[in-house]
Amino acid sequence: MPGVILTLPASPGSASQSLVTDGANPATLSWADRQPVTSLQGQTTTAASLELSTDGAGGGYYDIASGDAHVLDINVIGQQNTGAAVAAWNIKVVIKKTGGTTALVGTAVTTIVTNTPGWAVAVTADDPNDRLAVTVTGAGGTTINWKASITAAVAP
């Protein structure tokens, strides 16, 4: 098998960048801004709604700074603790904070990847707390472990 030839960039890049390839061989590497990823999690055991958080226990959320606009790609998955059932969604949404108000811009686009169990996920702007809320709803008597990953492009 032939080796891969890489051409490194001449500059060192910055602390917020990572190397990306153009996919060719020989490949040219260049610096690109990393897309921030935030992970949220939680667990439901009833049919009550739960807002996912970074620590899974109600601490840490996806906050929106004043003057910022975020376009978000959110992947949410819930799996029953026995592995018997799973549901997954991909949600694309824009959220911004201007003039002290945090709000969604337009309507979130939700793609249901699979949802045989009939569980639910909602994405809203939590204006009083200046954050995005990812809320899930499972089923009574069923332990469901939830995870969400949020990839963002932010314009200050």
Write the Ramachandran bin of 11: left for phi over 0, alpha for psi from -120 to 50, otherwise beta. Answer: beta
- Both tokens of 142, joined, read 């069923």
Instruction: Using pLDDT thresholds of 50, 70 and 90, give the confidence band for residue 15.
Output: low
Please state the rounded mean pLDDT for residues 43-61: 94
107-127: pLDDT as tens digits: 999 999 999 999 999 999 999
Q: According to the model, what pLDDT value does residue 1 have?
A: 39
Please state the rounded mean pLDDT for residues 143-147: 98
Instruction: Using pLDDT thresholds of 50, 70 and 90, give the confidence band for residue 2.
Output: low
- Both tokens of 33, joined, read 């801004």
- Residues 6 or more apart whose CB falls under 8 angstroms from that of 23 comprise none
Report residue 106 CA to chain centroid gap: 18
Question: Does 148 score more than 80 pLDDT?
Answer: yes
Question: Does 36 score more than 70 pLDDT?
Answer: no
Q: According to the model, what pLDDT value does residue 42 have?
A: 97
Q: Which fold has domain 37-155?
A: Immunoglobulin-like (2.60.40)
- Residues 6 or more apart whose CB falls under 8 angstroms from that of 99 comprise none
Instruction: With 0.85 as the threshold, say if the pTM is over it.
Output: no
Q: Where in the chain is the domain with CATH 2.60.40?
A: 37-155
